[in-house]
Amino acid sequence: MEKKIESLGEKEAELSDEIEQLLTTLPKVKNWNGLELCQYQGFWCGSRYLRGMIKFQRHFEAQHNDIILATFPKCGTTWLKALIFTIANRSKYSLDNSPLLSQCSRELVPSCDQDLFMRDPLPVLEDFPKPRIFATHTLYPSLPKSIKNSNCRIVYICRNPLDQFVSNWKFMLRIRVPNTEPISIDEAFEMACQGKQSFGPIWEHVLGYWKASKEEPHKVLFLKYEDLKENNKFYVKQLADFIGYPFTEDEEKQGKVEEISKFCSFDNMSNLEVNKNGEYFKEIKNDIFFRKGSVGDWKNYLTPSMSEHLEKIIEEKLSGSGLTFKKTLEDP
């Protein structure tokens, strides 16, 4: 046993050395918050997260009943974590008793790349409460093989890139390196248009999961923030079916779908004490994950020429894929 631990420790040390060596060779730019962003396997990733991400890629062992929530940052991760957790655990916890009343959804559904494997090189996940629900921002082609090869389900959510941009810019301003100049919207926009943001380019991220969802619809459910906003109850039901926890007729009659939809809504979640004043990440208040929660806020920040420019890029990058986004809820 001791020998095994020793050899795991040695392997771990070797992998850490390998990653440190790799980090010296990767292209780097300054991220919007002043930290370092490096380019790895075709996408941009915070250098401090890359270590966790590579360990996740190498060590994560998916189990057949796992639920993997994959998202592009600022596209509804916190919301979908709450929804999936609540749907999958509804026989264990009534809403009055939900762990979400005292813990942020980000804590209940940890992120593999930014949490689990970043804090601990070999986290013990076998005993994680079932169903195991994990989140990741990793791009589809870079996911651990065991996720692709097992029967676990992947739920993906993305959002129109204009709102995602504003949400990320506002977020980055709040988590910027202390005593550094805040990045202007123009500078951040320029970088976003070049694909330079955490886990960007956004078009590569969405296309990877979009294609996977077309090829394997039973494995990958592709959702959009705007659709969830517009028709939440429909998607709560779809989610429940997809992850293998469908609502019974009785539950539907009793209004369970509506209850869960309301419970996880922006208004309810953002007003919970734990999300207003609690802290999950050290020195980051949970309220950072709840800003406006609307569709079309980009209109308050982007000039017409900025929005047209980004839309044009997105249109070109997604052309031929069949994937489009609603920029406002009035869009057809």
The catalytic residues are 137
Binding region for ligand A3P (CB under 6 A) out of 10-18, 177-185, 261-269, 318-326:
261-269
Give the footprint of ligand A3P on residues 35-74 (CB under 6 A): 71, 73-74
**Cα→Cα distances 67→152, 173, 195, Å:** 6, 32, 28
Minimum distance from CB of 224 to ligand A3P (Å)?
A: 12
Tokens 């993305």 appear where?
158
Question: Phi and psi of 308, rounded to 5°?
Answer: -65, -40
Residue whose CB is less far from ligand A3P, 219 or 292: 292
**Other beta carbons within 10 Å of 326:** 19
Minimum distance from CB of 101 to ligand A3P (Å)?
A: 14
Give the footprint of ligand A3P on residues 85-124 (CB under 6 A): none
Q: Which of 31, 33, 57, 78 binds ligand A3P (CB under 6 A)?
A: 78
Beta bridge partners of 153: 67
Binding mask 287-306 for ligand A3P (x = CB under 6 A): --xxxxx---x---------
For residues 214 and 226, give the distance between their C-alpha atoms in angstroms, rounded to a whole number. 20
Give the list of residues 6+ apart from residue 63 with CB closer than 8 angstroms, or none. Answer: 132, 150, 152
Binding mask 163-202 for ligand A3P (x = CB under 6 A): x---x--x--------------------------------
Minimum distance from CB of 262 to ligand A3P (Å)?
A: 10
Beta strands in 159-200 (DSSP E): none
Helices (H) and strands (E) in the chain — how many of each? 16, 7
Q: Is 322 left (phi over 0), alpha (psi -120 to 50) or beta?
A: left
Binding site for ligand A3P (CB under 6 A): 71, 73-79, 163, 167, 170, 264-266, 269, 289-293, 297
